[in-house]
C-alpha cells in the first residue's frame, strides 16, 4: 500500500514541510547528510532529527515544524527546552556514528513552514543556532 495513504493528515503535512525545507536548504547550498535520523534507548524511540545538513565547516541539526493554518502558538515556539535537549542527545549519538564530523562546528536550527493550501504557497522561516 502507498505509504502516504497510510499516514495521518498530521504526518502528511509534516512530511510535506520536511520536503519543502529540504528544497530550501539545497537552494542555500546546504548538503543533506541524513533525514529522519532517530534512535532508540531501552527499546523505545528516544529522539529524532528531521534533517542533518552540512554547510561550509558546519554540521546543522534541523528541527522542521510545519503548520497548515494559523494557530495560537507559532511553529518555532513548539521547540522548547526539553525538545532542544533531546536534539542535542540525538546529535551526540549521530556524531558517534559519524566521527568524521566531530571537528566541525555544530549547531541546531529550526525551520518553520507555514502552508497555505488555498494559495499553494509556503512561508519559510529559518532560525539559526537556537541554543
Domain count, the chain: 1
Q: Which residues contact 56 (CB under 8 A, 6 or more apart)?
A: none
Q: Determine the Cα–Cα distance for residues 81 and 131; give it in Å rounded to an integer.
A: 9
- Predicted pLDDT at 55: 97
Look up the CATH number of the domain holding residue 70: 3.40.1350.10
pLDDT digits (tens, 9 = 90+) for 65-87: 998 776 656 667 778 899 999 99
The cell for 31 is: 548538503
Range of the domain at 41: 3-127
Asked if pLDDT for residue 2 goes beyond 70, the answer is no
pLDDT digits (tens, 9 = 90+) for 22-66: 999 999 999 999 999 999 888 888 899 999 999 999 999 999 999
Helix (H) or strand (E) holding 90: helix 81-97
Is pTM beyond 0.75? Reply is yes
- Mean pLDDT (whole number) for 106-111: 96
Q: Which residue has the cell 554540521?
A: 59
Amino acid at each position: 500500500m502507498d505509504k502516504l495513504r497510510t499516514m495521518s493528515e498530521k504526518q502528511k503535512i509534516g512530511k510535506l514541510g520536511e520536503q519543502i525545507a529540504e528544497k530550501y536548504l539545497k537552494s542555500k547550498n546546504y548538503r543533506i547528510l541524513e533525514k529522519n535520523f532517530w534512535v532508540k534507548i531501552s527499546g523505545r524511540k528516544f529522539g529524532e532529527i528531521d534533517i542533518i545538513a552540512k554547510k561550509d565547516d558546519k554540521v546543522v541539526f534541523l528541527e522542521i515544524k510545519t503548520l497548515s493554518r494559523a494557530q495560537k502558538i507559532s511553529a518555532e515556539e513548539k521547540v522548547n527546552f526539553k525538545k532542544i535537549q533531546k536534539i542535542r542527545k540525538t546529535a551526540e549519538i549521530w556524531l558517534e556514528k559519524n566521527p568524521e564530523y566531530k571537528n566541525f562546528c555544530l549547531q541546531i536550527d529550526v525551520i518553520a513552514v507555514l502552508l497555505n493550501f488555498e494559495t499553494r504557497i509556503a512561508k519559510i522561516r529559518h532560525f539559526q543556532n537556537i541554543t
